Amino acid sequence: MEQRLSVLTLAADDLAALRDFYTHTLGWEIEAANQDIVFYKLNGILLGLFGRKDLAKFNNQDPEGSGFRPFNMALMVNTRAEVERIYDELSGKDVEIVQPITEPAFGGCYFLFADPEGNIWEISYNPLIPIDQSGNVLEHKSIDHL
Least confident of 56-60, 84-88, 100-104: 56-60
- pLDDT per position as a tens digit, 36-56: 899 999 988 899 999 988 888
- Torsion of Cα atoms, 98 then 103 then 105 then 107, to 10°: 130
Confidence of residue 67 (pLDDT cuts 50, 70, 90): low
End-to-end CA distance of the chain: 28
Classify burial at 49, counting beta carbons within 10 Å of its beta carbon; exposed 0-12, middle 13-18, buried 19 or more. buried
Query: Where do the domains of the chain lie?
Result: 1-66, 68-146
- Domain 1-66, CATH class in plain words: alpha beta
- pLDDT per position as a tens digit, 1-21: 667 778 899 989 999 999 999
Domain 68-146: assigned CATH number: 3.10.180.10
- Residues 12, 50: Cα–Cα separation, whole Å: 6
| The pLDDT of residue 49 | 94
Cβ contacts of 78 within 8 Å, gap of 6 or more: 125, 130, 131
Contact between 146 and 129 (Cβ < 8 Å) = no
Global pTM value:
0.79
Question: What radius of gyration do the chain's Cα atoms show?
Answer: 16
Q: Do the two domains 1-66 and 68-146 of this chain adopt the same fold?
A: yes
Confidence of residue 134 (pLDDT cuts 50, 70, 90): confident
Strand-pair partners of 97: 113
Confidence of residue 70 (pLDDT cuts 50, 70, 90): low
